[in-house]
Every structure is written in structure tokens, then in C-alpha cells.
Chain A
Amino acid sequence: MNTPLFSASLVAFALTLYVLLDGFDLGVGCLLLFERHERVRDHMMDSITPTWDGNETWLVMAAVVLFAAFPISYGVLLPALYLPVVVMLLALGVRGVCFEFRTQIQDLRGYWDIVFAVGSAIAALMQGMILGAMLQGIDVKGNAFGGRVTDFATPYSFLCGVTVLCAYAILGAGWLRYKGTAILHSFSLRAITTLIPIFVLMFGTASVLSLRVQPAIVAVWHQDSLWLGTLVAIMLFNCLWLLSAGRSRSDFYPFLSALVLVAAGVVGLMVIIFPNIVPFRIALWDAASSSLSQIFVLVGACAVIPVVLGYSFFAYWVFRGKTPREGWDA
């Protein structure tokens, strides 16, 4: 049985859910910077407070399954990405505690909101830079990271960072349209129509540059051109559709479209990286732990994840519909 492949699918699944779910959380956080009225910012925050914690847990899930099933790659990637990962963790931490601080220490709410927004933006940027650093290649010696800790910081990885930041902000804007009351509609619409052109520009530049930075990506394009072409087409279609989101009668479709846009991007990246787990250096079968460890994790995951998805969905369902303007306690 090809257990490493199943474990890799589990990592991919958790990571995709993380990007989609925490993506809109972080996006809403970034957008907080652009809203001047405190009442409206409260409303934006209220839309994400009940569920952010569960969203972030998918990141822990992805990291831990990587640790359990692919310890070799876990031990190579984290030292290689040491700085962006630590900065991301610190930013996620600051942002996480702000949820409570801003409600409890009300006289400083304006400052907490700035801290929250900047923390969200830095976390998103770092996630993009981690992606960029992986795509441009990681120096591996034996089974360990062989490069320098500053290798990640290149203009290319920064460009990837900004692209991911834009993508998250688009997700966040879609979420605000979906969950926010009418006071957020024009804000969301303005955000989407501003962000889509920037995103397309960044994404296009990053894609072209990646062909120069990493020859292996050219090879993947030759091999899987149909797959990647379809995914890029899906992304472009959704970008075009989102530009006319103002005409959409439904408040849900813009968010759905943003989800599809980002999901297509994530799947594309996985097509590029597969079958490696340390991009272009270590294949997932060479980094896998012994099969009993894999099976143990997979059995647990198969048994428990449906339940997890069930009550996670339930949690969203409890807070369904528009976020109340006066908050959840009203």
C-alpha cells in the first residue's frame, strides 16, 4: 500500500483548508487597516471571532502530520524557513491575543486594531514568503538543511508574499460581503475591485519569474501543461467574475468565487511540488517515516476527521447568516 501518498494527501488537505479558512480571517484582519469607523471595524471583527480558532487549528494539523509522517522533510524545511516561520508565529500570536484584548481593554481599541491588522498582514506575507522560498529551492545536504537562514529573503519570495497577501485580502473581502450587513457592502466591493488587478499583476509576474528562478517549474509546465493551464484559466475566470461582483445579487457568490480562485491556486502549487515534499529535492517516499507510524496516523485521521468536519460545520452553522450588528451577545 502506498501509505506516504495518503499521508501526503492528508497534509495537502489540511493545508488547503487552512489557506481557505484562515485566509479569509487574515484577509479580514488586513482590511481592518482601511476602515476608519470603529463601529464598522467591530462588525468586521465580530464576523470572524467565533470561528478563527478552529480555522487556525488546520495549520497545526498540517504541521503535525508533516512531523509524524514526513519527519525528514519537517526537519529540513523548518530550519531552512526558520526566520519566516518564527516571524509568522509571532505575528499569529499577537493577532490571536488581540481578539480578546480589543474587547476587554476598550479604551485602547484603536491601537489594538492596528496591531491586529499589522499582525495579520505580516502573518500572510510570511506565509507567502515561505511559499516563495520553497519554490525557489532549498539547499539540502544529506538529510539536513545545508544553506543559510537568510536564503529565503529574495525579491522573488517577497513578490510571492505580496501575492498571497492580496489573495487573502480578496478572500477577506468576499467573506465580509457574505457575513457583513449592508454597511460593509460598498467597502467589500471597493476592496475586491482594487485588489483583483493588483493580484493579477503580482500573480502573473511571480509566475513568469518562477520559470526563471526554478528550472524544475519549467519542466512541470511541460509535463502537466493541461492541468496547470486549466487551473490558471479557472483563476482568471474567477478574477474576471469578481471584477463584476457588484452586479451579483447573492452575497455568497463573491465569497465562493474567491474561494475557488484561491483553491485553484493552491491545487496548482501542489501539482508543481508533487511528488516532492521538500520542493525539487526530496521525494515524499524518501522522507516518510516507517509504515506503522503512517498507518497509525491515517487510521486516526480517517476515523476522526469526518467528526471534526461535522462539528466544525456545526460551529459555522450556529453562527450562520449575517453577523448581528450589535455583536453576538445582543
Chain B
Amino acid sequence: MNLDPGILARTQFAFTVTFHIIFPTMSIGLAGFLAIVEGLWLKTKDEIYLQVYRFWLNIFAMGFGIGVVTGIVLSFEFGLGFARFAQFAGPAIGPLIAYEVLTAFFLEAGFLGIMLFGMHRVGKNLHFISTCMVALGTLISASWILSANSWMQTPDGVQMKDGKLVVINWWHVIHNPSWLYRLPHMIAAAYLTASFQMEAAEGFWEKQSSSPAPYYWLIVPDQKEQRNRFALGTPYLGSIWLAHSIHGRGEGLKNTPRELQPRMAMVFYGFRVMYCIAIVMFGVACAGLWLRWKRRLFTTPWFLRVLVLMTPSGIFATLGGWYLAETGRQPWVIFGMLRTVDAVSPVPAKTLLSTLIAFVCLYTLFMTAFLIFIGRIIKRGPQEIGTQVETFSSLKHAFRLGVLDKKTLESTGGAR
């Protein structure tokens, strides 16, 4: 069998990045959600929010853990698979990622411990600050990594001197032409992915569990509030943003020599997958809003079932988008500067194949365990709350529900 190291290195990189990106996408959204919920808890002093926080914190911790360990792999992988790319682009991309580590990874890691285990060791406010710091870290991280990747799409601020890449303007490297179009798009995608997953979990849990309904009624609205805010504004705009830039490149394609054209199938389907999911999400969001308006949102089984089906939608849309961006740039690894075939490491194909298999096996194990774990948590539901809720008087609950309902309606009205 004749194996091509270039293809294998790309497959390995694609696989590890694909797997990795799922988890930060989730944790960006979940961290923001957790910060909001804890803030609400501090503001309203309502224990329900704390229980919601605890419930989602477990899932967040697991996803974050997998994100961290698969992310460490990536910081080495530039050199493992693409040594010449690393040597060529290190002066421009390296510092961006160094800043990501400095300003984001340490921030997340430093406060994650307090967020997960420090509830009894620090004051409530300090704990809330820790949650916010972790959420902020995930956003900063996304900004840097998008900056680095956008630079590969639209390199700027550099010059060639004696065959070496020399940075002449850092502001242009960071603030390269496509960065500000792509960053909000990715962050919106992350929030969407997480909120669709959360909704599905709620829907799923609703079907599975017979715990007291008041809990369910109480937590979904605030989560809804968040979803509506993001879902309404972004899939639409985001797609137009990227569609716009795709259009720009699409026109240029005819002028590109055939051997420099990307593989159109991947680009085409990547874009279609992302776009279709965005439209379906938009539809679901609208249906949700309508049902909410009719006050039937939490009692309409078919809609809850749709939400369960939509669980991985955010992930697929995100992946579709990334495949579009990455394959659309081929055969370049840095657009117009370095071709992918010239970037590969001097590592034999058999070695690459064996490590690729190892990565696939191990990551499959991670994913399986992660899904089993999430399934268990969701099935179990926030049990503490059951006992907690029952200690409250039901009258008080009914009252609070009304207040929350009104607030939710107001805010969705605002979003519209």
C-alpha cells in the first residue's frame, strides 16, 4: 500500500482539530450560561439558580477537561505533522498562540479550580468572579485562535526577507482582513451549540423524569431568555457575513489556475451543511418563540422531541463551517504563501498512520465515555432540587413562576 504522508498528516490534524473544536465550542457557550445563572443566583438569592448552576457545572467540567487535553495536542501538532509550516509561519502565528496561552489558557485554568471546587472556600462574590473569568477566558481564547486562523486565510502585516517570513506590523497580523467577520460568527456558533444542547437536555430530561414540574418551569425560561437573544440575532447575520466572504472568493475562483483550486465538493457541502442547519435552527427558534407566546412551549411534546433531535445540530454546523474554511483555502496552508504539500514534516507515512489510529481509538473512547456520562447526569436530573423544591410551599412557587413568566415575555418582546 502506498501511503502519502501529506494526506495522513492532514487527516490526523483534521481529526484532532475536529474532535477538539467540539468541546471549546460547547464550553464557550456553557461558561457564559453558567456566569449568567450564577449572577441571577446572586441577584435573586433564589436557590433554584444555584441548583441549575451545579447541574450544568458537572457537564461543563467534563467537556472542559476533554477540551484541555485535546487542546494540548494541538499546541504540539503544528510541529509534529507540519514542521515546515511551523518553521515558516512560527514568527507570525506563534506569538498569537502564545498570547492565547498567556491571556486565556492560564486565566481559565487558574480560575477553573475555584469554580469547580472552591464554592466552600471563597465567598459567593469571589466565586462568581471566578466563573466570569473562566467565561472571559473562553472568549479571549476564541479571539486569538480566530485571529491566527484568519491570518492563514488572509495573511497581512508580513514580508518575505531572504526566504523567511518577517512580521512588519503586528496590528495588521492580528487585525487581518477576515478576522472581525469570522470572530462574531464563531462565538455566535458556540453560544448556539451550547444552547441547543441545553434545550435538548431539558427536553430529554422532561420526558425521562418524573421530578416535580415546577423546577422545570422555572429553569427553562431563563435559559430561554438567553437562547432567544442569541438565536434571533445571529444565525442569520452570521451566515450572511460568511456567505459574503465566500461569494467574494467564489468569483475569484475562475481566475485561479486549476491546480490551485480547492476541492469544491468539501467547500460546497461544508457550506450547505452549515447553512441548512442555521436555517433549521432559525425555524426551531421561531417555533419556540411562537409556542412560548402561546404559553405551550413546555407542554408540546413534538417540540421537545425536535429539540432532542437538534442536540448535535450546533456541532455539525460548526464543523461544516470549519471544513468550509479549511478546505476552501486549499491547496494553500497560508493563503498565497505556503502550499500544504510543502509544509509536511519528515515523518514516515507508517508512523503517521499508526499515531492516527491511536488518536482515533483514544478519542472514540473519550467521546463514548463523555456521552455515557452526560446521559447519566441528564437522566439523573438535578436530584437535589427535587427535595429542595418540595420543601418550598407550592403556593410560593406558583407565585414566583408568574413573576418569571412576565419577565421572560418582556425580554423576548425586546429581542423581537
Contact = CB atoms under 8 A, between A and B. Distances in A.
Nearest to A70: B90
A284 interface: no
B149 to A, nearest CB: 15
Given A71-B91, A145-B83, A319-B121, A79 B345 contact: yes
B80 A67 contact: no
B276 interface: no
A75 B91 contact: no
Contacts of A138: none
Interface stretch (B67-75, B243-251, B260-268, B333-341): B67-75
Contact of B117 (A79, A97, A328): A328
B166 A290 contact: yes
A304 B103 contact: yes
Consensus secondary structure, chain A interface: helix
A92 B73 CA distance: 9
Interface range on chain A (Cβ under 8 Å from partner): 35 or more
A149 B167 CA distance: 33
A286 B91 CA distance: 14
A328 to B, nearest CB: 4
A127 B83 CA distance: 20
Contacts of A319: 113, 117-118, 121
B58 interface: yes
4 shortest interchain CB distances as A-B pairs: A71-B90, A68-B94, A78-B79, A50-B113
A94 B377 CA distance: 21
Contacts of B71: 60
Given A105-B373, A318-B113, 13 more contacts: A50-B117, A67-B78, A68-B98, A71-B87, A75-B90, A79-B79, A79-B347, A89-B72, A105-B369, A146-B346, A149-B348, A311-B110, A319-B118
A64 B168 CA distance: 21
A234 interface: no
Given A50-B113, A297-B95, A305 B76 contact: no
6 contacts: A71-B86, A82-B347, A94-B362, A296-B95, A318-B114, A328-B118
Contacts of B89: 71
Given A61-B101, A100-B61, A304-B103, A78 B113 contact: no
Given A75-B79, A86-B355, A296 B167 contact: yes
A292 B170 contact: yes
Contacts of B110: 54, 308, 311-312, 314-315
A114 interface: no
A104 B351 contact: no
Interface string B41-74: 0000000000000000010011001101111110
B111 interface: yes
A1 to B, nearest CB: 17
A266 interface: no
